[in-house]
Chains A and B, each alone.
Chain A
Amino acid sequence: MFRESVISLLIALFFLFFGEMFLNALHISRYSLVLTGGIVLFLLALKMIFHSSGPAEADQTKQEPFIVPIATPMISGAGLMTVIMVNAAAEHNNIKIFFAILIAWIGVTGVLVTSPYIQKLIGRNGMAALEQIMGMILGLISMNMIVDALRLFVQTQ
Chain B
Amino acid sequence: MDLFSLTIILFLIMDPIGNISSFLKLLHELPQRQRNKIILREMTIALIAMIIFNFIGEAIFNVLKISEITLRLTSGVILFLVGIKILFPAIDSPRANLSLEEGEPFVTPLAIPLVAGPSLLGIIMLFSHLETNYFIVPAAIVIAWTLSLMILLSGKHLQRILTDNGLKAAERLMGMVLILIAIQTTFDGLHHFILSCR
Q: Is the interface of A mostly helix, strand, loop or mixed?
A: helix
Interface size class of A (residues with CB under 8 A): 20 to 34
The reply to whether A40 and B166 form a contact with Cβ atoms under 8 Å apart is no
1/0 per residue, CB under 8 A from B, across A58-81: the answer is: 010100011111011100001001
Docked-complex contact A67 and B184, CB < 8 angstroms: no
Q: How large is the interface on B (under 10, 10 to 19, 20 to 34, 35 or more residues)?
A: 20 to 34
Q: Closest CB of chain B to A113's CB: distance in Å?
A: 21
Q: CA separation between A40 and B80, bound complex, in Å?
A: 11
B5 at the interface (CB under 8 A from A): yes
Q: Roughly how many angstroms separate A55 CA and B97 CA in the complex, as a whole number?
A: 14
Q: Do B179 and A40 have beta carbons less than 8 Å apart?
A: yes
A 7-41 binary contact with B (CB < 8 Å = 1; else 0): 00000000000000000011111011101100110
CA distance A24 to B177 in the complex (A): 13
Distance A66 CA – B191 CA, assembled complex (angstroms) = 42
A155 to chain B: closest CB distance in Å?
12
CB of B130 closer than 8 Å to a CB of A: no
B153 at the interface (CB under 8 A from A): no
- A133: CB under 8 A from chain B? no
- A153 with B187, Cβ < 8 A, contacts A26-B5, A40-B179, A66-B163 known: yes
Contact B176 A40 (CB under 8 A): yes
Report whether A40 and B87 are in contact in the complex, using a CB–CB cutoff of 8 Å.
Answer: yes
- CB-CB under 8 A for A32 and B165, given A26-B5, A56-B88: no
B contact set with A: CB distance below 8 Å: 1-2, 4-5, 8, 84, 87-91, 163-166, 168-169, 172-173, 176-177, 179-181, 183-184, 187, 190-191, 194
- The residues of A with any CB-CB pair to B shorter than 8 Å are 25-29, 31-33, 35-36, 39-40, 43, 55-56, 59, 61, 65-69, 71-73, 78, 81, 153, 156-157
